[in-house]
Structure 1
Amino acid sequence: MEGDVETVYENGLWKNRVDGHQRASNVAKTREEAVRTGRHMAKARHVVHCVRGENGEVVSRDDYRASPRGVPLPP
């Protein structure tokens, strides 16, 4: 979905990329640092945060979207 945040491993670095943009928003040396930053970005934007492992497979997916009442929306 447009605007979702994805944490990926590329060229020896962990990167956070906003869906719809080609360039990474930020890079990190460790997975933990990148996931923490990506989660913060997704929460602030009220979007989905998807983390991919080094092999490219989805490891986790957290949905921070919410309806006007604060109820999480279905995927």
Structure 2
Amino acid sequence: MSQPPVETYYENGKWKDKVEGKERAFKTFETKAEAQAAGRERAKELETEHIIKNMDGKISEKKSYGNDPRPPKGSRG
């Protein structure tokens, strides 16, 4: 079973990182760049997806650092 994704999001005036499904953030930051960098590192450690959201909560970017079951479109194995 794979790990749940790591989310970087904005809430109550702070940028936060949490593992999806967890109640609380594991770290808070003043800037999105700081939160994104920490979230990326955690996603790499867990070998999972990193979901980055804008201030409005909409997903702006997704990156996978895990063992993807399928290669991306257009690539050949």
Structure 2: which 5+ runs fail to align? Answer: 73-77
- Partner residue in 2 for 1:8: 9
Could you tell me the percent identity over the aligned residues? 34
Distance 1:73 1:39 in 2: 20
- Partner residue in 2 for 1:29: 30
TM-score (norm 2): 0.83
Q: How many residues align?
A: 70
- Partner residue in 1 for 2:75: none
Q: Looking at CA atoms only, which structure, 1 or 2, has the larger radius of gyration?
A: 2
Structure 1: which 5+ runs fail to align? Answer: 67-71
- Partner residue in 2 for 1:65: 66
- 1:18 aligned partner, one-letter code: V
**Structure 1 residue 20: deviation in Å?**
1.8
Q: Superposed, which structure 2 residues align to 1:31-50 within 5 Å?
A: 31-50=32-51
**Structure 1 residue 19: deviation in Å?**
1.1
CA contact (8 A) 1:8 1:52 kept: yes
TM-score (norm 1): 0.85
